[in-house]
A and B are shown apart, each in its own frame.
Chain A
Amino acid sequence: MGTVEYIQHHLTNNSIGEGFWTLNIDTIVVSLILGALIVFVSARLGRQLSTGEPGGFQNFVESILDFVATNVRDAFPGHNPIIAPLALTIFIWVWLMNFMDMIPVDLFPYLFQLITGDSHAFLKIVPTTDLNTTLAMALTVFVLIIFYSIKIKGVWGFTKMFLFHPFGKFFIPVNIVMTFIEEISKPLSLALRLFGNMFAGELVFLLIALIGGTLAVGAAALFWAPLQIILDLGWLIFHLLVITLQAFIFMVLTIVYLGMAHDESH
């Protein structure tokens, strides 16, 4: 397998169906497993909560809760009990999906090929390197933005936003188009930022994996293999910051956009 084929193979989803109804099975299964993991761990921890001397894991979860609650207080001007749980879910779920990038790129595809017996079986285990995942999450947030905009501002208030913003009452047709563009840009920027960062990160991991793989033959491996280890470790540490930052940005922008939907002056 050549270099290009190797990269293309790793960046192709295992999918069924055709056209619009193509379902990326690996993305769906991995994201569902991670979602179920959150539910399972939360339920288990919920049963074992202690107020006296909390254990290490409870302390860890409480610190994440504190962190998210502080961000919601800072960035959300109104009061809505659904925002903090939503932000927490988004942060942890996106972080876990991003964390799949830390697993060696060849491990799961190789195991999957062994299990299925098909040496060309596709498997992409990082759901956030699939635009469908990030766009689906962003669209869910977008639906909430529209829902709360109409709920808080009323139908007329929401329509007024389209008619008189940003150029005033003399440019109503331009205002309508402009506000449409503005609203559509919200989910787009959410989805594309996360997808772009994770896709690029995965690609760099693949390129580093190629150093010790197809490029190293014979004695040259003695030089290339340690180089691969050093580069992989460096990128892994850096990428650990990137995945956390991207999960944080997705969460915080969700709060900010929903905060703007709750703010009648916007």
Chain B
Amino acid sequence: MSESNKTKPDAERTKPPGAAANYLLISAGSIFTSMLIAGFIVGYMLDQLFDTTPLFFLSCAVLGFIGGIQKVHQLTKRLDPPLKEKESEDDQKS
């Protein structure tokens, strides 16, 4: 435990997690669902705290929904790198 990522050189430390993100793709569906559920939970807790039912309950659910879409988009956009390369090649031609 004494050694950590801090000991690694900057370039290696900041490189994108290649295989790791691929594994996350397995659970893209459940990540989206759990973001929505987590939104409801956080909203419910905030509503209990401030006595504002159902203001936070609904708004946090919307945030969870947006966050879920954002997360799944982040994960799945990695699947399509050839298209981006092709686009950049087209841009260069034009």
Physical interaction between A and B: yes
Please, how many angstroms separate the alpha-carbon atoms of A225 and B60 in the complex?
51
Please, how many angstroms separate the alpha-carbon atoms of A84 and B68 in the complex?
29
Chain B, residues 45-58, CB within 8 Å of chain A (1/0): the string is 01000000000000
> Which residues of the partner chain B approach A178 to less than 8 Å between Cβ atoms?
63, 67
> Which residues of the partner chain B approach A151 to less than 8 Å between Cβ atoms?
4
Shortest CB-to-CB span from B67 to chain A, Å, is 6
Closest chain A residue to B36 by CB distance? Answer: A185
- Which of A249, A259, A263, A265 is B27 in contact with, Cβ under 8 Å? A249
Q: Which residues of B22-79 are within 8 A (CB) of A?
A: 23-24, 26-27, 30-31, 33-35, 37-39, 41-42, 46, 60, 63-64, 67-68, 70-71
Please, how many angstroms separate the alpha-carbon atoms of A180 and B68 in the complex?
13
* B38–A260 touching, CB < 8 Å: no
> Which residues of the partner chain A approach B37 to less than 8 Å between Cβ atoms?
185, 188, 192
- Which of A82, A184, A193 is B1 in contact with, Cβ under 8 Å? A82
- Which of A74, A152, A180, A253 is B19 in contact with, Cβ under 8 Å? A74
- Which of A184, A186, A255 is B42 in contact with, Cβ under 8 Å? A184
> Which residues of the partner chain B approach A80 to less than 8 Å between Cβ atoms?
1, 3-4
* B20–A265 touching, CB < 8 Å: no
Shortest CB-to-CB span from B50 to chain A, Å, is 13
> Which residues of the partner chain A approach B13 to less than 8 Å between Cβ atoms?
77-78, 263-265
Closest chain A residue to B12 by CB distance? Answer: A77
Tell whether B14 is near chain A: CB-to-CB under 8 Å. Answer: yes
> Which residues of the partner chain A approach B86 to less than 8 Å between Cβ atoms?
none
* A253–B1 touching, CB < 8 Å: no
Tell whether B82 is near chain A: CB-to-CB under 8 Å. Answer: no
Please, how many angstroms separate the alpha-carbon atoms of A250 and B4 in the complex?
23
* B5–A264 touching, CB < 8 Å: yes
Shortest CB-to-CB span from A170 to chain B, Å, is 16
* A181–B38 touching, CB < 8 Å: yes
Chain A residues with a Cβ under 8 A of chain B: 74-82, 151-152, 166, 174, 177-178, 180-182, 184-186, 188-189, 192-193, 249, 252-253, 255-256, 259-260, 262-265
Chain B residues with a Cβ under 8 A of chain A: 1, 3-8, 13-15, 17, 19-21, 23-24, 26-27, 30-31, 33-35, 37-39, 41-42, 46, 60, 63-64, 67-68, 70-71
Further pairs besides A77-B5, A185-B64, A249-B23: 18, Cβ < 8 Å:
A75-B17, A78-B8, A79-B7, A81-B3, A166-B67, A177-B46, A182-B35, A182-B67, A185-B31, A192-B34, A252-B23, A253-B27, A255-B23, A256-B17, A260-B17, A262-B4, A264-B5, A264-B14
The 7 closest A-B pairs by CB, nearest first: A78-B5, A189-B34, A185-B38, A184-B38, A188-B34, A74-B19, A185-B34
